């Protein structure tokens, strides 16, 4: 699987998770690493970091509203792990691994 295909798959999975706060570090990571990964904003369906972040935040807010109880807790925990992992990743390779881990079943 190519990195572009894997990233698009991860984005599809990420769209199903709450946690608006993960959108900022995710967008910042993409801004820093897209060149290293051989990708462009268009591969993510966005024109730039701001467009990606805004769309992510809108989508996450809508999804979060539909979750309750244990399901909401589990999804928030996953997003917190993604957010924190991206904030502490020191290389694009480490960030890629965090994104892969988030999309794993």
Round to whole Å and give the CA distance between 48 and 60. Answer: 18
**Residue of higher predicted confidence among 66 and 51:** 51
Each residue's pLDDT tens digit, 81-96 = 999 999 999 999 999 9
Domain boundaries, the chain: 18-103
Tokens of 30: 């993409």
Place of tokens 């809508």: 62
- Which token pair is 87? 């904030």
* Structure tokens, 94: 């480490």
Q: Determine contact, residues 26/85, Cβ cutoff 8 Å.
A: no
Please state the rounded mean pLDDT for residues 36-58. Answer: 93
Measure the CA dihedral 95/90/19/36, to 10°: -40
pLDDT digits (tens, 9 = 90+) for 1-22: 566 555 544 554 444 444 788 8
Split at pLDDT 50, 70, 90, the class of 102 is: confident
């Amino acid at each position: 699987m190519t990195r572009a295909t894997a990233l698009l798959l991860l984005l599809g999975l990420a769209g199903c998770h709450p946690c608006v706060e993960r959108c900022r570090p995710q967008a910042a990571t993409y801004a820093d690493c897209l060149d290293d990964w051989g990708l462009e904003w268009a591969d993510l369906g966005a024109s730039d970091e701001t467009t990606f972040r805004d769309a992510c935040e809108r989508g996450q807010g809508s999804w979060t509203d539909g979750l309750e109880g244990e399901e909401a807790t589990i999804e928030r925990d996953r997003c917190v792990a993604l957010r924190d992992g991206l904030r502490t990743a020191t290389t694009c390779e480490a960030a890629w691994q965090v994104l892969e881990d988030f999309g794993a079943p």
